[in-house]
Structure 1
Amino acid sequence: MTVKAYAVTKAKGDFEPFEFELGDIDPYEVDISVESCGICHSDLSMVDDEWGMAQFPLVPGHEVVGKVSAVGDLVSHVKVGDRVGLGWHAGYCMMCDQCMGGDHNLCANAEPTIAGRHGGFADTVRAKAASVVKIPDGLDASEAGPLLCGGIAVFNPMVQVGLSPTGSVGVIGIGGLGHMGLKFAAAWGCHVTAFTSDSKRQEALDMGAHDTINSRDPDAIKAAAGRFDLVLSTVNVPLDWNAVLATLKPRGRLMMPGAVTEPLGINVLPDMMFKQLAVGSSPVGPPVVIRQMLDFAARHNIAPVNEHFPMSKVNDAFEHLRSGKVRYRIVLDRE
């Protein structure tokens, strides 16, 4: 089968039409006829080869929504015609302790959808069946793509820390990840505070925040000492992390789905030790939590705020992403 796609042939290159061949489908694989695909900042990092793992030509796209067009002989949980989603992982080993324990996202041999294979900026994408999840009928499939990476990146930490619905949550950075963190935490039942600029204050309140803290005001952050059970940091820039830790209650958690690449410079004393705090992160989520997240989003009518581009305008979409002016995610619609 010939797949028509859009690819970059070098780091930081422009997208060009690209075709490649898919061989016979394996017994445990699924082919998805792509309807839409979100653009994640991770796609930009791969296009620019920031992580040194891109292989060119590269077809990005790991927030895929579409209909199943073919299934292998041993696939049982989806059938041709089902509307499904595919996120960061397109396969797992299915035999390691992590997979057998339900933590597929921690599998050492997990297969990224856009590393070593071609992703969803295409008319068809192929993946191992275990990584493919049904889209609930209650979700608007045309808007759901960003939930499959950005959404699970902020939902999974809430599950992993056992967040109480009576908890107090701070969300740092109201952008592509953070705005979904606000919506999820508010629907969870928590009191939610957005760390953001004054220019986004009203938007944060409209998306579920109960109050805001000016993230550029050290005194405002200091005044929030001991307030939060969980702080979700969705930014990828260095902050005064010791000041952030001071906003946590005893046994509080700072979780960092934002990919900060610089050392954190965290002091163990006084707050981490005397308040028994913890700092962590997590790689997206396993299929079972992705399904839970999609069901939760459908139940509470949660959707990311998206801007749409036709897939043929992928270069315009990436230029808009690089500008930093996106509100708040981009979805490519296949014409």
Structure 2
Amino acid sequence: MTIVNAYAAHETGGLLKPFQYQLPPIGAYEVDIQVQHCGICHSDLSLLENAWGVTQYPFVPGHEIVGTVLAVGQDVVHLKEGDRVGLGWHSAYCLHCDQCLTGNHNMCYSAQATIVGRHGGFADIVRAKVPSVVKLPDSVDMRTAGPLLCGGITVFNPLIQFNILPTAKVGVIGIGGLGHIAVQILQAWGCEVTAFTSSESKIEEALKMGANKTLNSRDSEELKSAENSFDLILSTVNVELDWSTYLSLLKPKGRLHLLGVVLEPLNLSVSSLLSRQKSVSASPVGSPNAIAQMLEFCQRHNIKPITQHFPLKEVNEAMEHLRAGKARYRVVLDMN
């Protein structure tokens, strides 16, 4: 039996405290990962606070996991002990539904989320089914790779799903944990990138990340000057916005794509979509194949999340840093 040393909350919004649990013998198609780094995503905070009504306690957060293979089941053939690997939002798929069989594992009807109904990566060891474990390219930095496994694939997935051309003009709403990675990826993709931000302090930073220009999301005149400009706008925020205004910024056949989990219903006029054949869509993380493509792309273009690091023993300070909106731009826990 394997003993896992983790940090868990035992009540809604509670402090994360040392917690041990025992894993059964490893399954034939499972992998144990020795966790070295684990990014903290806003979804970890949402689940800690049971904002989505699905959290089970004790709750061990962490789904941006980077480490080395500690053990493999008897039927695992392409990974071995010591391999550098990553694990993101999903830890298992059914492998027989029509979505899995067409390569869309992230749409699997019974996909198992890494931190819903099971324990995640704020721990020294985490276990997952092998299809969800992705081998890291050789030169990807393990210290900063964790956020790519959730935030990175979330912003990369729409580019391949919708065949976004390198000539596209793309806007990014929110230059935070997701948005700062989106700007870097889009710039490397070849797009003309505009960062929408209401923070004066982030304007220069967004330009350094690769944005070609910025627009003040609270300045109605600035926004009006950009009407009919964008092929795609990615919204990375989790708050309600004036969606009609952003629709007006799209070209005919343009797309407003939502990546942040906005809990309020969208207030939209059908006529604003119909007259210029515009679209509103959303997507979650990508399939294991898409994650591997994203990691290869980031390696090729030297794309790295901008991270702040905390030791695991300071996990509550790290979570509060994120809760207070102080993250610049992703927080990562270091196990050693």
Report the TM range for the smaller structure's normalisation: over 0.9
What is the CA-CA distance between 1:137 and the residue it aligns to? 1.0
Aligned equivalent of 1:223, options 225, 228, 243: 225
Residue by residue, what CA displacement relative to the aligned partner does 1:62-81 show, whole Å, maximum 9, x if unpaired?
A: 00000001111111221111
Q: What CA distance in whole angstroms lies between the structure 1 residues aligned with 2:325 and 2:8?
A: 22
Q: Which residue of 2 aligns with 1:254?
A: 256
Query: 1:319 deviation in Å?
Result: 1.1
Asked if residue 70 in structure 1 is aligned to residue 71 in structure 2, the reply is yes
Aligned length: 334
Percent sequence identity over matched residues?
A: 58
Listed as ranges, the matches of 1:133-152 within 5 Å are: 133-152=134-153
Counterpart of 2:307? 306
What root-mean-square deviation, in Å, do the aligned CA atoms of Structure 1 and Structure 2 show? Answer: 0.7
Equivalent of 2:267 in 239, 243, 265: 265
Instruction: Determine the structure 2 residue equivalent to 1:232.
Output: 234
Secondary structure of the equivalent of 1:280?
strand
> TM (normalized to structure 2)?
0.98
Partner of 1:210: 212
- Per-residue deviation, 1:170: 0.2
Aligned 1:7-18 pairs, distance under 5 A? 7-18=8-19
Instruction: Provide the secondary structure at the position in 2 that maps to 1:115.
Output: coil
The 3-state SS of whatever aligns with 1:152 is helix
3-state SS, counterpart of residue 157 of structure 1: helix
- Provide runs of 4+ in structure 1 moved above 4 Å: none
Amino acid at match of 1:283: P
Deviation at 1:199, TM superposition (A): 2.4
Q: What does residue range 1-335 of structure 1 map to in structure 2 within 5 Å? A: 1-197=2-198, 198-269=200-271, 271-335=272-336
Kept after mapping to 2: 8 A contact 1:28/1:129: yes
Question: What is the TM-score of this pair, normalised by structure 1?
Answer: 0.99
SS of the residue 2:28 aligns to: coil
1:213-232 C-alpha deviation (Å, 9 max, x unpaired): 00111111111111111100
Query: What 5-or-longer segments of structure 2 have no aligned partner?
Result: none
Per-residue deviation, residues 88-126 of structure 1 (Å, max 9, x unmatched):
000000000000000000011000000111100000000
Distance of 1:76 and 1:182 partners within structure 2: 37
Deviations along 1:280-308, one digit per CA (max 9) or x if unpaired, are 11111100000000000000000000000
CA deviation after TM superposition for structure 1 residue 161, in Å: 1.1
AA of the residue aligned to 2:268? I
Deviates more, 1:239-248 or 1:71-80: 71-80
Q: Which runs of 5+ in 1 are unaligned?
A: none
Residues 138 and 299 of structure 1 are in contact (CA less than 8 Å); yes or no, is this contact kept in structure 2? Answer: no
How far apart in 1 are the matches of 2:85 and 2:328?
25
CA distance in 1, matches of 2:255, 2:92: 30
Residue 2 of structure 1 aligns to a residue whose secondary structure is strand
Per-residue deviation at 1:5? 0.5
